[in-house]
Each structure stands twice: as C-alpha cells, then as structure tokens.
Structure 1
C-alpha cells in the first residue's frame, strides 16, 4: 500500500511521510553513446567517487578520426543544467540532445556536470559539486589528467561555462569563485541563461508583483532547495542582485546574459546585467532578450522559431 503524501510541490515532486521522494519530471535518462549520433560521441566519467557523481563528455566525432599527432584543440564548454536545484540531470534527453547540438554546431568539447540535488542534498551541495567538477576538469589543463578526451582535445585557453535557470545561477557563482580563488587558466566567458535569481521584494515596478507567484517561488527555495538559508530568498546565493557581493572580482573575460520577456526571472536577469556593467569588472557584457518567449523556451520548445536563433548566438559566443 502506497504511503501517505506529506507534501506536494508541483510540478517538481512529492514527499511521502515515510521519507520517500518522487520526482514528477526530469527523471528520464538517455545513455551516452560512442556511436556518432548527430556526428557527436559521448561518454560518462565519474569525477566524484565520494558522492557517485559523473560528468557527461561530448566530442565531435570527426575529432576522434584525426591522424595521430594531428590533434586540433577545441573550445571547452562546461555546462551546468537547470531544474530548480531539484530535478533534471546531464543524462536527461533535453540536456543530452541540447549539448549534442551545441557541440556539433560549435565544434567544441563539452562537459555536462551532474550535481547533488535537493531535497535529499539541499543547497549548497549543488554549488560545492559544481566547483568540485570544475576543479576536476581543470586538473587536465596540463594534459595529464585522468580523462583522455579532455587531455587531447580541450583548449584551456578557451574555456566557457554555461547554464540555464538554476544552472545559470550556479554559473555566475562559479565565475565569482574562480575569480576569488584565481583559477588558472582563466575562464574565457560564461553564459548565464534565464538565470534563477530572486529576492523577497520586486527589483522594480516591472518585476513580478503577484504575491501568490512570489510566495510560490519562495516556497520552492525555502522548503525544498535551501531550507537552511538564514535569510530565505534573500540568501546571497539566490538574491544575487540584492546582495552586497562585489561583481568586480568576476573571474572571466566576457558574460552573455540571456533573458526571455515572458519569464518570471526576466527583470532579475536584466538587473544582473546592469549591475555587472556598473561593477568595475573589466570584461564585456552582452544581453540577449527574446521578448515573446518564456523560461527556457529553447529547451522546452526546441522547434520554436527563436530556438535556433538562440543556439546560433550561444555558438557564436563560444567560437567568437
């Protein structure tokens, strides 16, 4: 007999009184493959035996066919998936397929990071794991790391971090930590896509005013993703725009901020770009806005007319 439901947090999960957690979406898995599906090969590699976490590596198939000694180094994309810190993984069809398209179009190496998720492992576990994965990836910068694909093909002079939603949030914090800890080689750029930044109060008169919607987002953060946050949604990890953090220490050369006009996070994303431009950080900030689209439209409706346009922009950011 099925146990009773303790709480329900749609559309993400149910928590049962016996402690069982049922994720309602983002659980499907597609296997990695050394067959050149869409001209890209992939494989999974454990980077954290302690937490049983892997990265999924993607490589253009033609790179593996180069003659010995004829290896051409490729840009390296580190990708951090979204899903409200609760659902999804690098192995889900939506992320596997999207990374495949990026790698094919940009002719780059990609490393998609798995991290521990709430509520079993609440924030800051996702941030700690993402940084751990970045350190593991950068252990290959001298060409003698544990994974041959990264050693042979990744150009550490052209490293990019990208993420959407919660992954966009994490990407910002990874670039900040890279700056503070002086990660070498330096990250070339980060793409912060529809970032999940929030706060207790609206950032301006155009931000979400609806109390039910604001409290719904607060509930996801305070009850599931980060129940240990002292300041709730004003936790500096979530309230990036309202925090006292000094953006001038951002550890990369350029930032692409992508927002969608019908996304609940749009005003936060635009405010983030404005704060970054005023921070004294010496890099370049580019803002891309699709006014008629919603949150993560390029992933949820990849056949929409604006999805290929955004993919093109992201590819240009990586290879430009």
Structure 2
C-alpha cells in the first residue's frame, strides 16, 4: 500500500494511512523542576499503567513541610486531542505561574492522544485522573503531596481548547456519577473547543475553515457522527441541564474562530434547567490561546488574574 496523507492538519500534524503520525506542533518537552522564578516545585507521577495515564504535579515550595491545606486545580491541556502534552514548556511555564499566583496544588493530566488512541480515550483518562485525586480524600492515597497538602473540599477543574471540552464532558459524567471524596468548587473553560454542523449567527461560513475544524474532530474521533456529536456540540446533548458543576467560568477571545461557540454554550447553560451559575468573559482583540502563546502580554496577565480570583473568591 502506498503511504498517503490521510489527514493534513498542518501546521499541527499530519496523519498517514499506515497509522503513522507526524506531529508538527507542541512536541518540545521539559522535565519537572523547582522553578526559581515562582518558587513552585513539580514532579511527574503515574496514575495508571493500563491504560497509561500520568500527570505533572505542582506545589508552592513554601507549602512543603507545612500543615497548610491548599485548593486543588486539575488541569487538562489543549491540542485538539492530537498534539501538545502536559510536559510541554508552554504548559509547564503556565502552570508554574498559575500555581504561584493562586496558591494551589495542581494536577496537570497527561491523557492518551488521538489518533493512536482515539476518543473517548482522552475522556476516560481524564475521569481516571479525577478518581485518582478523589482517592486521597482520607489522607491515605498514593501521593504524599495530595495526602498532606490538598483540600479536596475545594477542587477546581480547568482546561484550554480541547482541555475545556474535556472539562465540560467531565461535568456530564459527574452529573450522572458523582465521585465521593472531592467537592468541585468551580470549573474554568478557556477558549473551549466546541463546534457544530451548522454555523451560528456571526460564525464563519467559510467552507475551508469549517471543513478544517471538521477534519480535526474526525481525526480525533473516527467513529463520530460528525460535529453535532454531543461530545463536540453540547447543544445537542439532552443531558446538558444535568451538568455536574455548580459554578462555571467561560473565557473567550475576540478574534477566536471558536468565540461564538463559547458564548452560545454560556447562554444555553443559562437558559437551561441547570441550576448553577455561569459567567462569561471576553478578551477583545486576542486570538485562540493567546495567553499561552504570549504569556507576558497585558491581556494574558488580566486573564490570569481572572482565573486566580475565580479560585480565591471564597478563600
């Protein structure tokens, strides 16, 4: 069989018909460390061996050796379910800064990626990670940082892009099978990766942009029914009003192709029978995941402050 490109997802990845994957974006990695700039310590741990699920943990160094219990942030990275990792310098540096600012313990989840492990693998792994966090509720879990320093009555979930999609889908699962041992105080969905077959008002109708989004989703989830799959289009999910989270922050960017989906999600939640509180924030003039690509810009600083205040509101 002649090798051909099955999905050309440039500039992110190319997937070949023989199963080979050429990732072009988000391939750099950095080891865990003590970050001198923020004073945040990190380490890598295995959550499960079969399937392989792992995470990078972050904790303010000042908390180690103290009796202080800190809120917990479970973070899911983006990358269309296909590229990027929890080990990338982009996420490592961002989590260092976020943990230092918010004074939390973070669990940055490394889930299996498509196409080698197509969806729902990433969702299953993300749920496995939540169950692992919950296993520390009596102070006798497998990870000492969580046993000693985690306030599991104040857990937050966050993610960007595909990671925000994961946060939503974890909420659907939570609504059906709440985990004992942890209380989720709120979730943050930054530039959520949602789509649909039909354009929303004001959303692009350009066929090349729409078909590229459809191709990305098809590559990650080959058995999908399309972009109106409830996993990708929450408006098509009859369980939306049963979302398990009580407090949701949706962040969108003014120039982002996905902006209208984020606002639509926020409005749909507000108008459903869901009994939680949802807030929406837009950063004008910025594009998708600008805060990760340019973390030093003023708008990234403002978004960081918003996320931190969301986690510290009831402190």
TM-score between both structures, scaled by the size of structure 1: 0.93
> What is the Cα deviation at residue 143 of structure 1?
1.1
> What is the Cα deviation at residue 14 of structure 1?
2.1
Equivalent runs, 1:85-104 vs 2, <5 Å: 85-104=81-100
> Following the alignment from structure 1 to structure 2, what is the Cα–Cα distance between the partners of residues 193 and 151?
29
> Which residue of structure 2 lines up, in the alignment, with residue 6 of structure 1?
5
- Would you say 1:148 and 2:147 are equivalent positions? no
> Following the alignment from structure 2 to structure 1, what is the Cα–Cα distance between the partners of residues 228 and 18?
31
> Which residue of structure 1 lines up, in the alignment, with residue 273 of structure 2?
280
Deviations 1:149-179 (A, max 9, x none): 0111111111000000000001011122112
> Following the alignment from structure 2 to structure 1, what is the Cα–Cα distance between the partners of residues 178 and 131?
12
> What is the Cα deviation at residue 284 of structure 1?
1.4
Unmatched segments (≥5 aa) in structure 1? none
Equivalent pairs counted in the alignment come to 310
1:137 match: secondary structure: helix
> Which residue of structure 2 lines up, in the alignment, with residue 191 of structure 1?
188
> Following the alignment from structure 2 to structure 1, what is the Cα–Cα distance between the partners of residues 275 and 234?
19
> Following the alignment from structure 1 to structure 2, what is the Cα–Cα distance between the partners of residues 176 and 5?
38
Contact 1:5 1:14 survives alignment (8 Å): no
Equivalent runs, 1:1-320 vs 2, <5 Å: 4-7=3-6, 8-16=8-16, 18-34=18-34, 36=36, 38-66=38-66, 71-184=67-180, 185-204=182-201, 206-222=202-218, 224-229=219-224, 231-241=225-235, 243-320=236-313
TM-score between both structures, scaled by the size of structure 2: 0.95
> What is the Cα deviation at residue 51 of structure 1?
2.6
Change (3 A) 1:295 1:260: same
> Following the alignment from structure 2 to structure 1, what is the Cα–Cα distance between the partners of residues 273 and 149?
34
> What is the Cα deviation at residue 4 of structure 1?
5.0
> What is the Cα deviation at residue 298 of structure 1?
0.4
> What is the Cα deviation at residue 281 of structure 1?
1.9
1:289 match: secondary structure: strand
> What is the Cα deviation at residue 279 of structure 1?
1.5
Change (3 A) 1:53 1:267: same
Unmatched segments (≥5 aa) in structure 2? none
Contact 1:186 1:251 survives alignment (8 Å): no
Contact 1:186 1:252 survives alignment (8 Å): no
1:120 match: secondary structure: coil
> Following the alignment from structure 1 to structure 2, what is the Cα–Cα distance between the partners of residues 141 and 175?
20
> Following the alignment from structure 1 to structure 2, what is the Cα–Cα distance between the partners of residues 128 and 286?
27
Contact 1:197 1:268 survives alignment (8 Å): yes
> Following the alignment from structure 2 to structure 1, what is the Cα–Cα distance between the partners of residues 278 and 32?
34
Contact 2:53 2:129 survives alignment (8 Å): no
1:151 match: secondary structure: helix
> What is the Cα deviation at residue 285 of structure 1?
1.0
Deviations 1:175-203 (A, max 9, x none): 22112102233311110110000011012
